Structures are given as structure tokens and as C-alpha cells.
Chains A and B, each alone.
Chain A
């Protein structure tokens, strides 16, 4: 034991300040597809407290303004926080009253910068967001996450949806899908997730953003779930 050890070197080695981050109340998958009239998104309404299904009716898709929707998985309080920031951006636009209103691309970019900045300071907002919008006849669909990674796509998913739903979405997507077709595709993917993602419940919201603006449905249940599949009952059976 060297009592003459240089104490300051211990401080130098500890690195930058960090906030230990692990999410507490979380949302799981959000799915989104471009369709004929705009974008359709779907998410369940569960806020999980670890493995406890604690809040069963949380809205995880939020309309920001006339042109934009944001859906979130991950830490729900961070989603609430970013929603408050986005609300203030919308109010600022309203106050300026100069004809310029933030569109989905601008909000997507802004979120990307905020999220990247937070990760760079080791204090992330623990979310995976989907930003969707429709403006001047054009659809917009983008993904932003806790690292600041951001990209656009025709079909997007967060959480378990990336693994289980995205392959199904990509296989079945066409650019000119009708609202019914899009809804059926999303519901099918949500059913798969309901079966296999252990942090879901059978309560969903579907949202659209079109030339008529945003529209978020009341929570609904999927009726066509089948828990009698052979492999649910006999996990090692070879016939499905």
C-alpha cells in the first residue's frame, strides 16, 4: 500500500461525468408504413415497469402539429419530456405567425440533433422514435434513437418490431397500399408481436397522418388472435 500514491491521477482516470441510465417505464414496438394517402402507425398502449405490465393505457403516438406524428418506444418519461419540447416548438411557430411552420423533416432533424447531443454528453433520452408526416403532397417517415442514429424509410419499426415485424413489413409492402391494406398488414405484424414479445398487451392505437392532418384512434383490441397454435401448447412439436 503506497500512501504516497498521487490521488489526483485517480480523478483523472474517472472520465467524464455520466448519468447511469437504464429505462424504468418503457414502451415497446412502434410500427409505421407509408401508404397511398400518407403514413399509418401502430403501437400498443402498454407502459412496462420491467416485467410488470403497469400502465395499460399509455398513448405512445402523439401529434405534434398539423403535419407530424411522433411515436416512441423506450423510456416513457423521456417521451413525455421531448413532447413538451416539441409542443413549445409548435407554440413558437404559432407566435411567430409568419407562414413558416415546422414540417416533419425539420422536426426529424431537430430530434436527431437533440438525441445525438444528449448521447454525446452521456445522458441519453432513452427512446426509439418514429417521426411521420405528410406535407405538400409528400409523405415523410423517419427513425431517431437514443444514440442519435437517424434515417428514413418506407417501412419502419422500433424495439422487437425491428426483428419480428420489419421482415414481414418489407415483404408485403407496396407503395400504393390503401388504408385498409396498410391497417391489415400492421395488425398482422402486431399480432405476431403480441404472441412473441413478452412486453406487449392486446390494446393498440392506430394513427394516420394525411393531407387532412393527424388522426389517432382510441385504443382497440385485436380480435383474431389464436392462442391454440400447436407450438404454443407443445413447444417442441414438429408440426405447426
Chain B
């Protein structure tokens, strides 16, 4: 599956002969098996939806949040090692607060993304620090409009129309590519993202899931808040129905195959 490090993968300060830094790549592996998180930049804001596996019946619903607010106009969704991502969120809060103290207004998205990515990157420069094992989707709505960034363990920050991180990210990404980003509104996007989450959630194999949804949009006064209950309930209902319909169709396809053969 992955190339053997064969001795060049013990330290983040070591290059391989082919110019790879294996420790950073291994950090990304922590995300590959972790919960799905989706983000979409719409015409009127940004939506973040995260699927959270329920680890046990003993856990109180709503604990271990995977979406955190970082300033009035910005929020973060995480996938990978949650404890690492929480540190990134705390760092983002500090940066945003400091910018506000210094410059007197809300930190612009690209500056926040840049600063936090720079911080993540420093964890790939010193042998005594391990890289962050998480991907983070940063949603911001500033005077330049809504923006979505994806921050990775390597310290890169790319700006996206739509981004999927965590497991099934390839499948989820191809679903996202079907969306028309220059027409999509946040209300529509919530429904679409819920459908994608349901589509890739295997009720048999995966644990029960809790879905967290947040947005920062015109409707929320450009503040990063949890998606209102009625929008959320409708989206989850439609997503469950769509999944049910797909399963029925594939069942009837299977029946026909059995009959003909």
C-alpha cells in the first residue's frame, strides 16, 4: 500500500532519497481512516457537515464536538486526531483574537488560513515536535465574501469550492464535483451534504453516526453557528429517504438479476 520508509521515516527532519518526508505522509494516514468532514462554499456562505461515529452507547450525545467556532465569522471542522485538531482550533482562536486587537476588525480568511497553516508547518521542522495528525476545514465569511480552506499536516492551505476529508473522501469528492458552486445556496448545500454523508455511511459496517452541521452565511448574519433545527431536520430526512430509495432500487436490480439467471 505505502512505500516502505526503510530507515528514512524515523524523524520528521529526515528526507528520503526521493525527496519525501515520510513522517508528514504518515500524519496524513491518521486522517484516512477517520470521520468524514465536508465543506462547501456557496454563493451566500459556507457550510460544514461532519459525520461523527458514536463510540459507545455510554457517550452523551453531542459530546466530543468536531466543529468548533474560532471567531464570530469563522469555524473549523476536523477529521483525524481530534485532540490535535482542537489545538489547531485553539491556535486559530488566538490568532483571530490577536488580529482583532491589533487591526481592529475581523481577521480575513486568507490571513487566518495562512497563519494557522504556518503554525502547522512548524511542526514539520523540528525533531522534537510531531506533525499534527488531522485535516482541518476552515470556513470564513469576511469582507471578501465566503471562503473555505483545507489545512493539512504538511502545513499547506488550499482554498476550495468544495472539499471532503477523512474516509471515503474520493467518493465524496466526486459527488461534490457534481454541485454547481456558483449557483448553490447554503440551504441547498446542507441538503446535498447530508445526502453525501448518508450515501457513504454503511449502516452494517460502520458504527452509528452523529451528524454535526454548521454554517456561516448571510442568513446567520455572517456568524458561524450551528445550522438551525428545522433546516437540519429537513436535510437529514431527505438524505435518509434518498438513501432508502437507492437501496430499494439496488435491491430490485438484484432481484431481477436473480430471476434472469
B68 within 8 A of A: yes
B100 within 8 A of A: yes
Binding-face segment, B53-61, B69-77, B169-177: B69-77
Q: How far is the CA of A96 from the CA of B67 in the complex (A)?
A: 11
A88 within 8 A of B: yes
Which of A88, A94, A97 is in CB contact (< 8 Å) with B101?
A: A88
A84 within 8 A of B: yes
Chain B residues, CB < 8 A from A84: 101
Which of B70, B97, B223 is in CB contact (< 8 Å) with A88?
A: B97
- Chain B binding surface SS class: mixed
Chain A contact patch, size range: under 10
Closest Cβ of chain A to B135, distance in Å, is: 20
The count of A-to-B residue pairs whose CB atoms sit within 8 angstroms is 22
Chain A residues, CB < 8 A from B68: 95, 97
Closest Cβ of chain B to A234, distance in Å, is: 52
Chain A residues, CB < 8 A from B69: 94-97
Evaluate contact between B97 and A94: CB separation under 8 angstroms.
no
Q: How far is the CA of A88 from the CA of B69 in the complex (A)?
A: 14
A91 within 8 A of B: yes
B222 within 8 A of A: no
Measured CB to CB, the nearest residue on chain A to B93 is: A95
Chain B residues, CB < 8 A from A94: 69, 72, 223
Interface residues in B138-162 by Cβ distance below 8 A to A read none
Chain B contact patch, size range: 10 to 19
Evaluate contact between A91 and B101: CB separation under 8 angstroms.
no
Q: Mark B84-98, 1 if CB is under 8 A from A, else 0.
A: 000000000100010
Q: How far is the CA of A75 from the CA of B71 in the complex (A)?
A: 29
Chain A residues, CB < 8 A from B101: 84, 88
Closest Cβ of chain A to B6, distance in Å, is: 44
Q: How far is the CA of A84 from the CA of B98 in the complex (A)?
A: 12
Closest Cβ of chain A to B92, distance in Å, is: 10
Q: Mark A81-116, 1 if CB is under 8 A from B, else 0.
A: 000100010011011110000000000000000000
Evaluate contact between A91 and B97: CB separation under 8 angstroms.
yes
Interface residues in A42-66 by Cβ distance below 8 A to B read none
Interface residues in A185-220 by Cβ distance below 8 A to B read none
Measured CB to CB, the nearest residue on chain A to B74 is: A95
B226 within 8 A of A: yes
Measured CB to CB, the nearest residue on chain B to A98 is: B65
Chain A residues, CB < 8 A from B97: 88, 91-92
Chain B residues, CB < 8 A from A95: 68-71, 93
Q: How far is the CA of A96 from the CA of B225 in the complex (A)?
A: 11
Q: How far is the CA of A72 from the CA of B170 in the complex (A)?
A: 57
Measured CB to CB, the nearest residue on chain B to A90 is: B72
Chain B residues, CB < 8 A from A88: 97, 100-101
Measured CB to CB, the nearest residue on chain B to A85 is: B101
Closest 3 CB pairs of A and B: A95-B69, A97-B69, A95-B93
- 15 other contacts beyond A91-B71, A92-B93, with CB at 8 A cut-off? A84-B101, A88-B97, A88-B100, A88-B101, A91-B72, A91-B97, A92-B97, A94-B69, A94-B72, A95-B68, A95-B70, A95-B71, A96-B69, A97-B68, A97-B226
Question: Can you name 22 A-B residue pairings with CB atoms under 8 Å?
Answer: A84-B101, A88-B97, A88-B100, A88-B101, A91-B71, A91-B72, A91-B97, A91-B100, A92-B93, A92-B97, A94-B69, A94-B72, A94-B223, A95-B68, A95-B69, A95-B70, A95-B71, A95-B93, A96-B69, A97-B68, A97-B69, A97-B226
